[in-house]
A = this chain, B = another copy of it.
Amino acid sequence: MIVRPIQLDDLDALQQMARETGVGFTSLPDNREFLREKIEHSMASFLDPRGEGAQLYFFVLEDDQASSAERIAGCCAIEARVGLSSPFYHYRLGRLAHSSPELGLHRLLETLFLSSDHTGDAEVCSLYLRPAWRGGSGLRSRLGTMISRVRWLFIAAQRERFPQRVLAEMRGRVDDQGASPFWKSLGSRFLPMDFGDADRLIGLGEKGFIGELMPKYPIYTAFLTQEARLSIGQVHDQTRPAIAMLAHEGLRWEGYIDIFDGGPTMEAYIDDVRGVRDSRRLVARVDPDASDREARASGFRPRWLVARDGAAKDFRAAWVSRAPREERLVLSLAEAQRLNVSNGDYLRVLEC
């Protein structure tokens, strides 16, 4: 399995994944033209030697051993700087003291403020592992980790392409009918459309209507329904593993939520993220005598995620079977080939 930048050839697979994800997976709408542009945007970003604008780095997880046509197992992406060309909004949960010395009352009220505070931050997004590749044991049990953490490996390798902070938006809570209580209590009062339509517009990058239609004054959460209040910063059941993984990386919820479903925005300073902080830069030592037997064993549970530490466009990440020793990592010929690495090249390595 390798993770590599997406190419135009992957359009069919990407659209297939967009269909599988459905509503609520905002960033991957089922719109071929839009997806093609996304791929082209990503390809241009990887090629850009400096990469200081609103770059998009989109990756696919490919089964390089697969014999069938279905080689693409999942995808993930990083937006280098959100909100530079179109507005980017959150609600921010704040607190305001209301206090009356005369009545001996002192209350703290929660408020939601429309905010674009995260403009210019990086975002990790579009993480998807196709159902056929989920579960299992050995290497297969590690694909979720791979497709998620590979982004930190890339960011660490291309640190100068990214700003100070990174965020990830989590799908918000839904009720038994699959509806968002937060949307019902707030968004639906101001946007004359259903949740799916609003979400689709956002996915297509049409965010201007938020500033036009959503409330401009701060909202006291006391005016929302209890279900909506209880949904603030809470995630969709299916998102629990993802949020746990991000929390483990050191991302936290600092009070920013999605304006539609109230889902939490997880965030951190990039240099504090475990996957970035703990990754190491090592020298590849390609050993023709090194065996691949262990890695080919069915129960092999890889621990070392590796990519070449060089030009962004050459990024390819894969598991290797050996632990690094001091500043070196021994690769078998097969591993070196898979990573497109030669003896003496620099590697970026993360223990997962």
Contact = CB atoms under 8 A, between A and B. Distances in A.
Contacts of A96: 114-116
A97 B116 contact: yes
Contacts of A252: 269
Interface stretch (A38-46, A87-95, A303-311): A87-95
A85 interface: yes
A310 to B, nearest CB: 32
Contact of A117 (B94, B114, B117, B211): B94
A83 interface: yes
A241 interface: no
A106 interface: yes
A86 interface: yes
A136 interface: no
Contact of A119 (B97, B113, B114, B115): B97
Given A113-B113, A119-B108, A98 B208 contact: no
A119 B95 CA distance: 8
Instruction: Give the number of copies in the complex.
Output: 2
Contacts of A211: 97-99
A101 interface: yes
Contact of A106 (B87, B97, B99, B113): B87
Contacts of A99: 86-87, 208, 211
A108 B218 CA distance: 18
B116 A95 contact: yes
B89 A97 contact: yes
Contacts of A269: 252
16 contacts: A83-B97, A86-B99, A86-B106, A87-B98, A88-B97, A94-B113, A94-B115, A95-B115, A95-B117, A95-B119, A97-B211, A98-B211, A99-B211, A108-B116, A113-B218, A252-B269
A221 to B, nearest CB: 14
Contacts of A113: 94, 113, 218
Nearest to A93: B117
Interface string A67-102: 000000000000000010111110010111111110
B87 A97 contact: yes
Contacts of A115: 94-96
A96 B115 CA distance: 5
A302 to B, nearest CB: 30
Interface in A102-121: 106, 108, 113-117, 119
Q: A99, A101, A114 — which one has the most chain B CB atoms within 10 A of its CB?
A: A99
Contacts of A108: 83, 116, 119
Given A83-B97, A86-B99, A97-B211, 11 more contacts: A83-B108, A88-B97, A94-B117, A95-B119, A97-B119, A98-B211, A99-B208, A99-B211, A101-B208, A108-B119, A218-B218
